[in-house]
Structure 1
Amino acid sequence: MEAPVDDDATLMLAYARGELAAFDALYARHRGTLYRFLLRSARDPRLAEELFQETWSRVVAARTRYTPQAKFSTWLLQIAHNLLVDSYRRKRPLATGEEAELALMQVASPDQQQPEHVWSEFERRRRLQRAIEDLPEEQRTAVLLRLENELSVEEIAQVTGVGRETAKSRLRYAMNRLREQLAE
């Protein structure tokens, strides 16, 4: 029995029953969104590719345990986010207070090389991308999940493993920071 193509949960459940075409449909539907999220979050193409493959491996491994408690895309992004956090923990040594302050000062310094003229649409988008890249990791993740994946505050909280109010606060701080940076 073929699963309806508009229902990701149904496709995943069909894949769990052995319908390989259902996995192909899920992969085709979500590969671009997942890869963009990982690439923009990790900011390292090799790491993004590694996490992309591992995320799909986890989906395959969890197929028989999958229960549609949230949207499939939320579940998929939660797996990817957890793998990303794990990779940061493994690969990044803890910075001293001075190193962290120096890094924050470098990230927060505005880009002075932009000409003072009316921005084209491309330039505005590029400036927004840079501003998003300059956000602290947790705020950047929340913004990317909201803007690129159109997740609700509740879904962002679920993906990142924090409370609703924390997710809402991260979004609010990120949006305020983006407004400030883009107003400069």
Structure 2
Amino acid sequence: MSQPPPQPPLLADEALMHAYAAGDVRAFEQLYDRHHLRVWRYLYRGVRDSATADELAQDVWFKVARHADQYTPHAAAPGRPRARFTTWLFTLAHHRMVDHLRIARPATSLDQPLAKTELTLADTLAAPSGFGPVRRIENRQQAQQLLAALDALSPEQRDTFLLQAEGGLSVADIAAATGVGTETAKSRLRYARAALRRTLEDMA
């Protein structure tokens, strides 16, 4: 029996971004498919409103499309490693969310249904995600408790945690994206993780 032809290797995000800048529309579609849910979750957990998250995510992807030719390694100094596409993407998402929150921060109940999925915020947190400690959550009630703990963090601590959890950014990347020193970013992340860890321990 003949074997199916081997699939071509998946291109790295950075290669796809440069391919799109060179005119390959399918490269943008692949990037969007890979990352749009992570970007949306990051924005939604920051603004707590699904319609607003939709709007902000659309703005972010429009900016990615408009500025594809400006995507660079961000090599401010010779020999500095090239920034990952996800670092650039979530930096754009962070800045767009900050701009929005300067105007208004909607207060949304944990039990408000999401327009797209009919799930509540607690349901989405209990579902599989890159949220780190959430993988230990077993039911919706526990997810609500952890969400309350997340919401009790300062906006800066919550944003730092989400940039790492959803965006996979390093401490150095988070510091660059948010315009603070590395030690400040590290301190915010440490505090957020400690607070959420205490909540998880209380659930045990």
TM-score, normalising length: structure 2: 0.69
1:150-170 deviation per Cα after TM superposition (whole angstroms, max 9, x unaligned): 322112212222221111010
Q: Which residue of 1 aligns with 2:172?
A: 154
Which runs of 5 or more structure 2 residues have no equivalent in the other structure? 1-7, 74-81, 106-135
* Runs of 5+ consecutive residues of structure 1 not aligned to the other structure: 93-118
The alpha carbon displacement at 1:183 in A equals 4.6
**Does 2:153 correspond to 1:135?**
yes
> Structure 1 127/44 Cα, relative in aligned 2: closer, same or farther at 3 Å?
same
Paired residues of 1:146 and 1:156 also in contact (CA < 8 A): yes
Shift of 1:11: 0.4
Q: Which residue of 1 aligns with 2:84?
A: 71
User: What one-letter code is carried by the residue in structure 2 that aligns with 1:139?
Assistant: Q
- Of the three residues 176, 184, 192, the one matched with 1:174 is 192
Amino acid of the residue matched to residue 138 of structure 1?
E
**Partner Cα distance (1:29, 1:86) in 2:** 25
The answer to whether the 8 A contact 1:157-1:166 is kept is yes
CA distance 1:21–1:56, shift in 2 (3 Å): same
- Secondary structure of the corresponding residue to residue 64 of structure 1: helix
- Picking from 50, 54, 67, the partner of 2:55 is 50
> Mean Cα displacement is larger for which, 144-153 or 77-86?
144-153
Structure 1 stretch displaced more, 119-128 or 79-88 = 119-128
Percentage identity across aligned positions? 46
- Give the whole-Å Cα distance in 2 for the aligned partners of 1:14 and 1:63: 9
Q: Does 1:24 align with 2:41?
A: no
Partners of 1:66 and 1:169 in 2: CA distance = 30
Q: CA RMSD in A?
A: 2.2
Q: Deviation per CA, 1:81-107: give whole Å up to 9, x if none.
A: 001111111336xxxxxxxxxxxxxxx
Give the number of aligned pairs: 156
1:4 is displaced (CA, Å) by 5.8
